[in-house]
Amino acid sequence: MTSPDTAPDSSPHTEPHPGPETGPGTVPTIDGSDLTDTQRAGNACAVCGKTWPRPTVLIGRLPDGRQLLICPEHATGSPP
């Protein structure tokens, strides 16, 4: 018998897919009603309230769009 040896679609499917949640604008919205004004301004850690060293890890945004920042040690999962 004759076997059809036609393979028109020989395109390699090696598509570089980025991570699921990378880039800005992927942080959750957090209701910061129980935070201080300094924390809501992004000038203090939203977890422990420290202002120095300044928090650098973005964990979320307030409903009005302001950023909430925490210390890097909280982001690693270590308790304060």
Contact set with Zn ion (CB under 5 A):
45, 47-48, 50, 71
Give the residue with the Cβ less far from Zn ion, 62 or 70: 70
Return the beta strands (E) in the chain as ranges: 57-61, 67-70
Closer by beta carbon to Zn ion, 16 or else 53: 53
68 vs 71 by CB, closer to Zn ion: 71
CB of 55 to Zn ion, least distance (A): 6
Residues 24, 30, 32, 35: is their CA dihedral positive or negative? negative
